[in-house]
Amino acid sequence: MEIRLKRVYLLSVEEAGDYIFTPDGVVVLLENGHFRLYCPNASHNRYRAALNKFTWEELERGVVFRDTGIRLADITPDIHRRGWMDTSSIPALLAHLYQENPKHLHFLRRLVSSPQ
């Protein structure tokens, strides 16, 4: 049985001394309370620690963690509108997000299989 997607977030960061939030991750919150984080390998532990420390509401408003601003933007309505409702949809939604923003979401390239 597939687990339903509760929320899908675009994770954006504002590095210390910067004034622009830049997309740098995708967070999929599942109905069972677990989440999946897709981001550059170098940032994975830092982002995971922030996701575990703060509530989802705090993260949506934006937090500062280890001198980095982190904010989640809820993109669930767009994802659900496309019919992606459970974990079997994750590859398609990641491919879609990569195609929409390959510059910032370059780390998804390794997860997205290109048609041959």
Q: What is the pLDDT of residue 74?
A: 96
pLDDT tens, position by position, 12-29: 998 777 778 889 999 999
What are the sequence ranges of the domains in the chain?
5-110
In the sheet that 63-65 helps form, which strands lie side by side, from edge to edge?
35-38, 22-30, 5-14, 68-74, 63-65
Q: What is the pLDDT of residue 116?
A: 37
Q: What is the pLDDT of residue 67?
A: 86
The verdict on pTM exceeding 0.85 is yes
- Cα 64 to chain centroid, rounded: 17
Q: What is the pLDDT of residue 24?
A: 92
**pLDDT < 50 positions in the chain:** 116
